[in-house]
Structure 1
Amino acid sequence: MKTITLEYCPKCGWMLRAAYMAQELLSTFTEDIYGVTLVPSLVSGRFQVRVDEEILFDRKREGRFPEIKELKQLVRDRVNPEKSLGHSEKK
């Protein structure tokens, strides 16, 4: 099982965003992941999502935050590619 890490900038006030995303991932991938870890970053402006050590999404690289639907698809593709996401599925 994989662990998801959400690293966020606390100075930017992104803890609630990270917590919301963690809640969504935990409820969607209950049987597919070991857990979600929230990590306050020491780097200003950082918001990264990792599965184990692989960076799935980096706010600075993408120039934006991930949509929750997009994030679920990225995580699903790494932890359980066969899983249906229902209404969050790619169209």
Structure 2
Amino acid sequence: MKTAIFISAAMLTTAALPAVTLATQPAPDRDGLALVVAAPWGQPITDVLAASGVPEAFPDRAPFGAFVVLSHTDSLERLYQSGAWFVLNGKKILELC
């Protein structure tokens, strides 16, 4: 029984570590790379980016996320106003990958 509890705790820790790392990272730089994540049940990421006017950094994107370049001081605010769920530090995301 102790072994099963230990293995379960180890698996939970391993599964939760990337999410904790993402949640505790600093805000993206105002002039840097960012990962924009849209809500799965909300607007598509293409609509969020089009409404915000923030340019994409790469031509490919995931269904709920895309890398963008925060080129203006108000880019972060425009993304949130346009429906972004999260805006994460893109450089840190690339370091995890």
TM-score tier after normalising by the smaller chain length: under 0.3
Q: Which has the higher contact order (CA 8 A, sep 6+)?
A: 2
Higher helix share: 2
TM-score, normalisation: structure 1: 0.25
TM-score, normalisation: structure 2: 0.24
Higher strand share: 1
Of structures 1 and 2, the larger Rg is shown by 2
